[in-house]
A and B are shown apart, each in its own frame.
Chain A
Amino acid sequence: MSGLDGGTVSFIAYGLIVVLLANCSRAPAWRFAVLLAASVLFIHLIEPRTYALIPLAGFLAAGYLGVIALRCGIRHATVVGVIVLVGAYAWLKQYSFLPRQSFLAFSYFTLGLSYIFFRVLHLVIDAGSPGAARNIRIGHYLAYTLNFTTLISGPIQRYEDFAPQIDQQGLRPDLDTIGAQVERLIIGFFKVNVLGLLFSMIQIDALAELARPGDAVPKAYAAWRLVGCYPFFLYCNFSGYIDIVIALARLMGLKLPENFNRPFSATSFIDFWNRWHITLSTWLKIYVYNPLLITLMRRFPAAAMEQVFGILCFFVTFFLIGIWHGRTSEYVVFGILQGGGVALNKLWQVILTRKLGRKPYRALAARPLYAMVARGLTFTWFAFSLIWFWAGWPQIHAAFAGAGVTGWLAALLALWLIATIALALWESARTRLLAITAQGAPLLAHPWSRTAFVTVLATIAFLMVAVLSQPAPGIVYRTF
């Protein structure tokens, strides 16, 4: 069934039907049954060919066997389980470094596999942790891994967070909760289907302009639009979808973790990754960064090496984040730019702290001008690195050949300058607007203001989607 795999009207309609069913009873068994049935039906509607689901079923079975093996105390089950799951994941996703001949010859269902992979891996690793012996029933395992609200693009919820919610008696959503979640649904829908569409439109047209013959200045301007619009498109596309699923889940009585926290307000690249795709970066910090750093520190226990290891572990962690996004060599560059960005950021902090001292460095970083410039640079670095995220090598070559070295340098410098000013103005305007109060409360948070705001958004979204039939781009992260 088309359209279910994104922030579309049909997906929201499906979600709302499930919400209604889930709220028919507060009994945990009922809510659990509705969630599981809705998730299975959801997959069936997207992929009606049963045989195409066999690889996914095999992957899930391998994960569950790993969990059982660990529960039974089988030695080395964690290591074997992780190796099997990582290998199976890379093979099913057909990573380009694997021999093509080894891949399955038929098309099969891989939607959401990346997110299932994180959830299953987390269960296997944690099941092997001391004192973590837990009894995960098959139904809970399936409801957790296949939950339709988190299947396509996350967020990556932890089992400890999920299980108690599904086992508790459901809270009937009150009027405030319903209002707040409907508001979030509309905002999410608007982000995906209106803002995302507009940013994508500018970006695609800029790419086409770069491929055409033309003068240097328009080309540099096209390069600026190309690189500057994509982060906003990706943010609207991904965070809008997350808004929709969080709202739907909340109406079902489930709380999903937040995945974004105003990422373009970040004043460093490390801070950025604390605000962007939060559940992914948190997962990798827990399961890659921390264990790797601890292992290195135990192996080479020298205090002088701690910061070097920290930088190295940052690089490895965020390099992995980069290459997780795709199967081809472009994502290796994307990973290097993510890992490199975080590592350089950490190195800069270490050097300045050594030179200035901890307190003076913090004081410097807190200065408005420093924060402005750092925010602009963070945005520009991320925007630049995303070229290897959205484009293949032929497009990258066409884009760079289109504007030339000078054009690109000019575009990136202009982007840094404009991002520095524009994001600072935005932060300032936001602070001032939130400071406006009426009857002792922020005016923007007043129910009337919020109702008026979402009514405008809903009207525009209706006009774009229903009246003008404007097709918005699909959810980018569903392909990972």
Chain B
Amino acid sequence: MACLILNDPHTGVRGIPRSSCQQKDLETRLVDYRFNDCGFRTNQPCRPGPAGLFRIVLIGSSMGYGMHVDQSQSFAARLGPVLSARLQRPVDVFNESMQWAFPASWPLRTDAMLQPHPGMILWALTPFDIENARLILPYVPNVQAELLAPLHGSSGGAGQDATVAPAPPAPHGLGSIPERAWNRLITTLSRDQATFVLQHYLYRSQSQYLAHTLSQVGASDYLQVPAPAALQDNLVVFARALRQVAARARAANVPLVVTLLPSRPQAIMLSNHTWSQGYDPNQLGRLLRRIVEADGARYVDMTPGLETMPDAGQNYLSVDEHPTPQGHRMLTTLLANALLRSGALPAAGSNNP
């Protein structure tokens, strides 16, 4: 996090240009994060690519950013070479994805999206992005607490519709003491490393992880059928952000393609071909497709390939839920297949899909 600026509401979270830092999580090894001259975790310099190159600007949040994996292992880094080989023409992926870059923050970044002269903008969403669609800045207690009051209900720079979720009202009074004490105890114990280790081993079991996730109110909204009101509200926020990004891309004559990167619960359900009544891993994709196509953008569905990938749920970190290096390899294959199948990419010798 030392390489990121977390508290600028006019840009959302952004990387510090030409910086590098390292991060080690309990489930991962030490990972390097290096940022180019305009603050993106990508190899390319911050200028248009050479003639003949088809450039995809990838936008999204932590999965696209390659959280917890080396940059070379991320699907963003792997996708360009795979597409180049399959299309027989040079394709590169200029990765502008950023940790905590949720939908409401993308209308603030449209200039940056167009700067590298892309042939396509690819927005790789996750269910977590939709769940947090209205956040411009991360819900990190110290950052968020300072910014909630001035931002709530106001416009966020270019993002007229972007707002920050109000903080839940803090309970007061003597009657709330037991509840607060209980919550404090549970929160403290939840952060304990022993608890983390226990979770890590429990959630290696896909069945237990799934049972736990589905029992959590809110965390599994996107899987529930019919879609709960909270999910629909978040989709409305996403639709507003999309409208602005799509309008800007259309004005620059750059196709906008949107996809949904599968979460671990979706991967488990689709890979095992089974899910409980009242849940549907394909629901969010269907809802997103409707919104995306209504705005004249293209939606590509990555999930069909998951059904033929056994044990796909093991390609994610047990507790953190981000993809492992194997998970990024899986996402590369799924995304390349989905893009090629959809006809969103130009044939050799053409710049237009």
Measured CA separation A271–B212 after assembly (Å): 38
Closest CB in chain A relative to B227 CB, distance in Å? 22
Given A201-B202, A201-B207, A205-B207, the answer on whether A463 and B189 have CB atoms closer than 8 Å is: yes
What 0/1 readout, one digit per residue, does chain B (182-198) give for beta carbons within 8 Å of chain A?
Answer: 00001001100001001
Q: Which of A201, A212, A213, A463 contacts B208 (CB 8 A)?
A: A201
Closest CB in chain A relative to B157 CB, distance in Å? 38
A35 located at the interface, meaning its Cβ lies under 8 Å from any Cβ of chain B in the complex: no
A469 located at the interface, meaning its Cβ lies under 8 Å from any Cβ of chain B in the complex: yes
Q: Are A471 and B205 in contact (CB under 8 A)?
A: no
B350 located at the interface, meaning its Cβ lies under 8 Å from any Cβ of chain A in the complex: no
Chain B residues in 8 Å Cβ range of A469: 212, 215-216
B160 located at the interface, meaning its Cβ lies under 8 Å from any Cβ of chain A in the complex: no
A466 located at the interface, meaning its Cβ lies under 8 Å from any Cβ of chain B in the complex: yes
Closest CB in chain B relative to A47 CB, distance in Å? 20
Q: How many A-B residue pairs have CB under 8 A?
A: 47
Q: Are B208 and A208 in contact (CB under 8 A)?
A: no
Q: Are A197 and B311 in contact (CB under 8 A)?
A: no
Chain B residues in 8 Å Cβ range of A204: 205, 207
Q: Which of A202, A463, A468 contacts B205 (CB 8 A)?
A: A202
A470 located at the interface, meaning its Cβ lies under 8 Å from any Cβ of chain B in the complex: yes
Measured CA separation A201–B207 after assembly (Å): 6
What 0/1 readout, one digit per residue, does chain A (462-477) give for beta carbons within 8 Å of chain B?
Answer: 0110111111000000
Measured CA separation A214–B311 after assembly (Å): 11
Closest CB in chain B relative to A245 CB, distance in Å? 24
Chain B residues in 8 Å Cβ range of A467: 186, 189-190, 195
Given A205-B207, A212-B310, A463-B189, the answer on whether A468 and B272 have CB atoms closer than 8 Å is: no
What 0/1 readout, one digit per residue, does chain A (440-480) give for beta carbons within 8 Å of chain B?
Answer: 00000000000000000000000110111111000000000
Measured CA separation A197–B206 after assembly (Å): 13
A211 located at the interface, meaning its Cβ lies under 8 Å from any Cβ of chain B in the complex: yes
Closest CB in chain A relative to B208 CB, distance in Å? 4
What 0/1 readout, one digit per residue, does chain A (205-247) give for beta carbons within 8 Å of chain B?
Answer: 1001101111000000000000000000000000000000000
Chain B residues in 8 Å Cβ range of A208: 206-207, 272
Q: Which of B195, B206, B207 contacts A468 (CB 8 A)?
A: B195
B43 located at the interface, meaning its Cβ lies under 8 Å from any Cβ of chain A in the complex: no
B19 located at the interface, meaning its Cβ lies under 8 Å from any Cβ of chain A in the complex: no
Measured CB to CB, the nearest residue on chain B to A462 is B189
B211 located at the interface, meaning its Cβ lies under 8 Å from any Cβ of chain A in the complex: yes
Measured CB to CB, the nearest residue on chain B to A211 is B272
Closest CB in chain A relative to B190 CB, distance in Å? 6
Measured CA separation A464–B208 after assembly (Å): 12
Chain A residues in 8 Å Cβ range of B208: 197, 201, 470
Q: Are A470 and B212 in contact (CB under 8 A)?
A: yes
Closest CB in chain B relative to A439 CB, distance in Å? 35
Closest CB in chain B relative to A286 CB, distance in Å? 40
Measured CA separation A214–B198 after assembly (Å): 28
B199 located at the interface, meaning its Cβ lies under 8 Å from any Cβ of chain A in the complex: yes
Measured CA separation A214–B310 after assembly (Å): 9
Q: Are A463 and B198 in contact (CB under 8 A)?
A: yes
Q: Are B311 and A212 in contact (CB under 8 A)?
A: yes
Closest CB in chain B relative to A213 CB, distance in Å? 6
Q: Are A471 and B272 in contact (CB under 8 A)?
A: no
Measured CA separation A204–B272 after assembly (Å): 12
Measured CA separation A205–B186 after assembly (Å): 29
- Report the count of interface residues on B (CB-CB < 8 A): 18
Q: Are B205 and A205 in contact (CB under 8 A)?
A: yes
Closest CB in chain A relative to B330 CB, distance in Å? 15
Q: Which of A169-211 contact B (CB under 8 A)?
A: 197, 200-202, 204-205, 208-209, 211
Measured CA separation A200–B198 after assembly (Å): 17
Chain A residues in 8 Å Cβ range of B202: 201, 468, 470
Measured CB to CB, the nearest residue on chain A to B194 is A463
Chain B residues in 8 Å Cβ range of A468: 190, 195, 198-199, 202, 212
Chain B residues in 8 Å Cβ range of A471: 211-212, 215
Q: Which of A197, A201, A463 contacts B195 (CB 8 A)?
A: A463
Closest CB in chain A relative to B191 CB, distance in Å? 10
Closest CB in chain A relative to B189 CB, distance in Å? 5
Chain A residues in 8 Å Cβ range of B206: 205, 208
Chain B residues in 8 Å Cβ range of A463: 189, 195, 198
Closest CB in chain A relative to B297 CB, distance in Å? 36
* Most chain B CB neighbours (cut-off 10 Å) among A208, A214, A466: A208
* Most chain B CB neighbours (cut-off 10 Å) among A200, A212, A470: A470
What 0/1 readout, one digit per residue, does chain B (211-249) give for beta carbons within 8 Å of chain A?
Answer: 110011000000000000000000000000000000000
What 0/1 readout, one digit per residue, does chain B (298-338) give for beta carbons within 8 Å of chain A?
Answer: 00000000000011000000000000000000000000000
Chain A residues in 8 Å Cβ range of B212: 468-471
Measured CB to CB, the nearest residue on chain B to A460 is B198
Chain A residues in 8 Å Cβ range of B207: 200-201, 204-205, 208
Chain A residues in 8 Å Cβ range of B215: 469, 471
Closest CB in chain B relative to A210 CB, distance in Å? 11
Closest CB in chain B relative to A205 CB, distance in Å? 5
Chain A residues in 8 Å Cβ range of B189: 463, 467
Measured CA separation A177–B205 after assembly (Å): 39
* Most chain A CB neighbours (cut-off 10 Å) among B195, B207, B310: B207
Q: Are B211 and A213 in contact (CB under 8 A)?
A: no
Measured CA separation A112–B178 after assembly (Å): 36
Chain B residues in 8 Å Cβ range of A200: 207
Measured CA separation A201–B215 after assembly (Å): 15
Measured CB to CB, the nearest residue on chain A to B190 is A467
Measured CA separation A63–B158 after assembly (Å): 75
Measured CA separation A212–B307 after assembly (Å): 11
Chain B residues in 8 Å Cβ range of A205: 205-207
Measured CA separation A469–B209 after assembly (Å): 11
Measured CB to CB, the nearest residue on chain A to B186 is A467
Measured CB to CB, the nearest residue on chain B to A464 is B198
Chain B residues in 8 Å Cβ range of A464: 198
Closest CB in chain B relative to A389 CB, distance in Å? 19
Closest CB in chain B relative to A304 CB, distance in Å? 54
Measured CA separation A95–B205 after assembly (Å): 35
Closest CB in chain A relative to B318 CB, distance in Å? 13
Chain B residues in 8 Å Cβ range of A211: 272
Chain B residues in 8 Å Cβ range of A466: 186
Chain A residues in 8 Å Cβ range of B211: 470-471
Measured CB to CB, the nearest residue on chain B to A207 is B207
Measured CA separation A55–B144 after assembly (Å): 56
Closest CB in chain B relative to A359 CB, distance in Å? 51
Closest CB in chain A relative to B17 CB, distance in Å? 41
Chain A residues in 8 Å Cβ range of B216: 469
Q: Which of A197, A201, A213 contacts B310 (CB 8 A)?
A: A213
Chain A residues in 8 Å Cβ range of B311: 209, 212
Known: A205-B205, A468-B190. 9 other contacts (CB 8 A): A200-B207, A212-B272, A212-B310, A463-B198, A467-B190, A468-B195, A468-B202, A469-B215, A471-B211
Question: Would you mind naming 9 contact pairs between A and B with Cβ atoms under 8 Å apart?
Answer: A201-B205, A201-B208, A204-B205, A209-B311, A212-B311, A463-B198, A467-B189, A468-B198, A470-B212
B residues whose Cβ falls under 8 Å from a Cβ of A: 186, 189-190, 195, 198-199, 202, 205-208, 211-212, 215-216, 272, 310-311
Q: Which 10 pairs show the lowest CB-CB distances between chains A and B? A: A204-B207, A212-B310, A201-B208, A201-B205, A471-B215, A467-B189, A471-B211, A205-B205, A205-B207, A208-B272
